[in-house]
Amino acid sequence: MSSSILEAMIVASLTGGSILRKYFEKENFSVIQKSVSYDLVTNIDKESQEGINAILTQRFPDIPVIGEEGSIQTGRQTRAFYVDPLDGTFNFVHHYPFFSVSLGYWEENEPVAGVVFDPIRRDLFFAQKGEGAFFNGERIYASDRTSLEGSYLVTGFPYKEGKHPRIEKEIRAVMKLTDLRVLGSAALELCYVAKGIIDGYWEYDLSSWDLAGGVLIAQEAGAVVTNPSGVDFNLFEGDVLAAPPVIHQKLLEVIKSEQLGI
């Protein structure tokens, strides 16, 4: 991959992030409900998307952009940028400073580059396939913890109510072993797995733009990424389990035994 793709993604993430930071401080934005009361979008999500798309398409007019708040189609579909211009809108709207801009570049269903930017902390995470994961320029690694007891585990709640019984059972099982958090930005949660802050993370029903960047960053930091049944990760199915190898195996056992009703 040409390094200019990664560079453009970084510039685009900083541009989107500066838009988010500006309005987060001013608290001046309008909110629209998409599905349930906590599935929100603001005019700032859209402004961030426009800023990001303008940079990506100016530099790479032949590469499609699949964005949560606006896509740009080109003739070629075997590669694309997947963009979430504001991952964590519910946090943003409630003035909770944990959200991000997420970009992933995939070719032939394989991740090639990922960039996630937290504009409040000015934390920049990025990775290229085979070249490691980086946080503000420093190489990062997933945690070396091997015990689930006392580990920092994170999940999220799907918007579709039909999926709730499944996650509720899994949460009950996990909470017999350790505490659990829901932080509200899938992309940033994956980066915290990459940085060894979060020991394990799983969630259902996400979208390609939530996952395309963070999944590669977590993998390049040494985490194992599958779906929560242990099957190969699929960007378009939206279910993910990311953790360093031993925790991944143990967490998978707990979650799967709940799925199978054991």
Please, which residue, 90 or 233, has the CB nearer to ligand IPD? Answer: 90
Question: Which region, judged by CB under 6 A, interacts with ligand IPD, from 18-26, 139-147, 184-192, 253-261?
Answer: 184-192
Instruction: Give residue number: closest CB to ligand IPD.
Output: 156
Concatenating the DSSP letter of every residue in 44-74 gives HHHHHHHHHHHHHHHH-TTS-EEETT--B--
Q: Which does 226 bind (CB under 5 to 8 A by kind): ligand IPD, Ca ion, none?
A: none
Question: Which region, judged by CB under 5 A, interacts with Ca ion, from 66-74, 114-122, 152-160, 194-202?
Answer: 66-74
Residue 84 makes contact with ligand IPD by CB under 6 A: yes
CB 142 within 8 A of CB 222: yes
Secondary structure class of 194 (helix, strand, coil): helix
Least distance in angstroms from the C-beta of 4 to ligand IPD: 27
Residues in contact with Ca ion, shown as a per-residue x/- string from 202 to 241 under the rule CB under 5 A:
--------x-------------------------------
Region of 120 on the Ramachandran plot (φ > 0 left; ψ -120 to 50 alpha; else beta): alpha
Residue 214 makes contact with ligand IPD by CB under 6 A: no
CB 210 within 8 A of CB 87: yes
Alpha-carbon span 138 to 157, nearest angstrom: 32
Of 210, 33, 209, nearest to 201 by C-alpha is 210
Positions in the binding site for ligand IPD (CB under 6 A): 84, 86-90, 156, 184-186, 203, 206, 210
Positions in the binding site for Ca ion (CB under 5 A): 68, 84, 86-87, 210
